[in-house]
Structure 1
Amino acid sequence: MRVFLNLLWLSILFWTFAMVLWGLFRFYGLESEDGVTISADFREDLKMKNILPLFALAGFLMGIFYAAVEFAFDKFNSKRRSIGLTIFIKTIVYLFLIIVIATFMIELGANLFGLKKNNDPGWWRHDKGFWITTLYFLFSSLMFSLIRIANEKFGKGVFLKMLLGRYKNPKEEKRIFMFLDLKSSTAIAEALGHFKYSQLIQDCFYDLNDIVPKYAAEIYQYVGDEAVLSWPYHRGLANNNCVALFFAFQNVLKLRHSYYMDKYGLVPEFKAGLHGGELMVAEVGVVKKELAFHGDVINTSARIQAECNKHNVALLISKKLKEDLNIDSNYSAKSIGNVLLKGKNAELSVFTIFQG
């Protein structure tokens, strides 16, 4: 629900602004343009006090419908359907919505302001204004999609900070990192073969992506059969998000037990290491620009995850992070003791977390 509400308010804000802007592009100053002849009736219709509220309302309605369609496609559309087919289906749906909303707005404008425009059945087929508005909508939709993609790639709110140049120079941030890795990956790859194994990793990460937004996580990168997730420190602690995500992912894999058994003959299991603290973040590269995190937090998180097999546990967490979490009745913590992580000179106290 939170994912939809976030998408909804962004969609309403974007489309209200976009449609008001289109109203200005389309009509502002039109009656004073040289060579443009406007009838007396239509000249009255062109008053901005009549035009802009209608376009704002159209944008508001479009924002609601657009968010609903995008959310439905994100949630129910087959992840294996080609991008081209998905875009085609969306285009048909949006064309229908534009026709419905435009017809409604014409009728509303006629009743409230006396605007005179044909809205008989099929009016839109030969209406040049409708098709130029539709073209503007498709362009705006592409812009909104690109903004969403950039926001998802860099993390919530990070894209705007990059536009403002915040990370041109390294900045210190406090974050939590999780290294999530497939158990027995080498044996599974040998048993399945590289093609089937690649499909397995795809399916696992599709399932992971379905729950990432629910726990306010950001996917930093995928490395083979490993996913690296991150949270701003306060967001990872809230509702035990950084721990809850791991168990939610486990539950999703269990619920899809039949699917994985039928397709691969096994149910994948993952292990994870968690640690948090101060580190540096900066823009790197020109081609394929991205944010990179530098610091001991990342290295320690990876080393903690590597200890899972040695201690035969699914989740390990540093003592410092465990103490900052509010471990409630849903979880229990057990000390593993002090361990000497690979490449470290000093031992680190780690705990395993389990449900119950």
Structure 2
Amino acid sequence: MSRDLKLYLELLWQSILFWVVVMGLYSLFRYYGMDEEVGVTVIAEFSGNQGTIKALQGFMVIGILIGFLYATIDFFFDKYTSDRLSLVLDLVLRTIVYFVTTVAVFTAVIRLFSKVYNLPLDSSRGWWLQDKAFWSAILYIVLVSFVFSFIKIATEKFGKGVFFKMLMGKYKNPQEEKRIFMFLDLKDSTTIAENLGHFKYSQFIQDCFYDLNEVVPKYDAEIYQYVGDEAVLSWPYKKGLANNNCVDLFFAFQQKKQSKSQYYLDKYGVVPEFKAGLHGGILMVTEVGVIKKEIAYHGDVINTSARIQGECNKHKVLLLISERLLQDLRMHPHLSTKFLGSVLLKGKKKKVNIHTIDKV
């Protein structure tokens, strides 16, 4: 299964589950017990428990279709247009596509249930323009879309699973976790910055990190932070080891930049090259800050990862990994390793064995 397909399927089931639940709840809010309200007239087909069940079935079908179509729309917009359109234009186009899709879904479901249950429901052309029930549903969909977007943004900000752990207060007190860290730094950044100037250099870094963001989800990585021209990536230990994610991400990022080499040469006169250091182990994670909350990692693992990356220039290689982490990896046949020796990293008392990894 390709990584793009894996990402799409993950987005798909989350979207379908979310919209089935929220549309099912809407049907209960909207129709349950309505025939018992004083002064409310309800057609026979929607009265009593049977009417509520019909409405629930209809809106759950709508939830499945909306979940499927919205996920597909988001996937294709994120993959093919987000780097070509401004945020405002992207939002406007998505909204238009969402709305047309929603009208089509409601029309299809109304026609289907009209035939199945012989209901007197109007689905003629333009039916939705004057239908107050439809517009109340649209308002509900807009509101819950904000909730879905908030959850998605928060998940992307803090990492999968971390946001909900924060809501539950797990990181109020420091917790021990086993993780892998990669410090990814732009090579020859000072020279490039001098040649480009601060404005164009900022655009250059923006393009580099945009390319990185396209690669990161495919290898189950989390972006811990950006510091100038450096990015710090992290994995839960098992996820980083699985399929050599923590190593293959680096080479995928290299390949991504090479595929856009002409773009970088035309715009900046240089193709970016990054160096990276990898290390893993047990460290502490906790929630810090009051005005601006974020997750912080403390411990020797993160410091050692940064120091290992700092050795890349000395050994004239692009990727260095600690021997401890390398021993836990199952190296793919297309990769080769080379022992570079034991180094005494700044701030450490014991030497660390380091290796470089390259493609065969």
- TM-score with structure 2 length normalisation? 0.96
Give a deviation string over 1:189-213, Cα, whole Å, max 9, x none.
0000001000010000000010111
Closer, same or farther: CA 311–173 of 1 in aligned 2, 3 Å: same
Aligned with 1:230 (options 213, 230, 234): 234
- The 5-angstrom pairing of residues 323-338 of structure 1 reads 323-338=327-342
- The 5-angstrom pairing of residues 209-288 of structure 1 reads 209-288=213-292
Gaps spanning 5+ residues in structure 1: where?
none
Task: Name the stretch that deviates more: 135-144 or 266-275.
Answer: 135-144
**1:55 alignment counterpart:** 59
Find out whether 1:349 has 2:353 as its counterpart.
yes
Offset of 1:43 from its aligned partner? 2.7
| CA–CA distance in structure 1, aligned partners of residues 189 and 315 of structure 2 | 17
Q: What SS class does the counterpart of residue 293 from structure 1 fall into?
A: strand
- The 5-angstrom pairing of residues 37-186 of structure 1 reads 37-43=41-47, 47-79=51-83, 81-186=85-190
Q: What SS class does the counterpart of residue 299 from structure 1 fall into?
A: helix
Q: What SS class does the counterpart of residue 167 from structure 1 fall into?
A: helix
- Equivalent residue letter for 1:165: G
Q: What SS class does the counterpart of residue 313 from structure 1 fall into?
A: coil
CA contact (8 A) 1:179 1:302 kept: yes
Offset of 1:46 from its aligned partner? 6.5
Q: Percent identity?
A: 59
Aligned with 1:191 (options 190, 195, 209): 195
| CA–CA distance in structure 1, aligned partners of residues 53 and 43 of structure 2 | 18
| CA–CA distance in structure 1, aligned partners of residues 199 and 341 of structure 2 | 40
Gaps spanning 5+ residues in structure 2: where?
none
| CA–CA distance in structure 1, aligned partners of residues 221 and 45 of structure 2 | 56
Q: What SS class does the counterpart of residue 47 from structure 2 fall into?
A: helix
Offset of 1:344 from its aligned partner? 1.4
Task: Name the stretch that deviates more: 41-50 or 342-351.
Answer: 41-50
RMSD after superposition? 1.2
Give a deviation string over 1:154-202, Cα, whole Å, max 9, x none.
1111111111111111110000000000000011000000010000100
| CA–CA distance in structure 2, aligned partners of residues 79 and 167 of structure 1 | 34
- Equivalent residue letter for 2:122: N
Closer, same or farther: CA 351–96 of 1 in aligned 2, 3 Å: same
Offset of 1:80 from its aligned partner? 5.3
| CA–CA distance in structure 1, aligned partners of residues 14 and 210 of structure 2 | 24
Aligned positions, number: 356
- TM-score with structure 1 length normalisation? 0.98
CA contact (8 A) 1:280 1:294 kept: yes
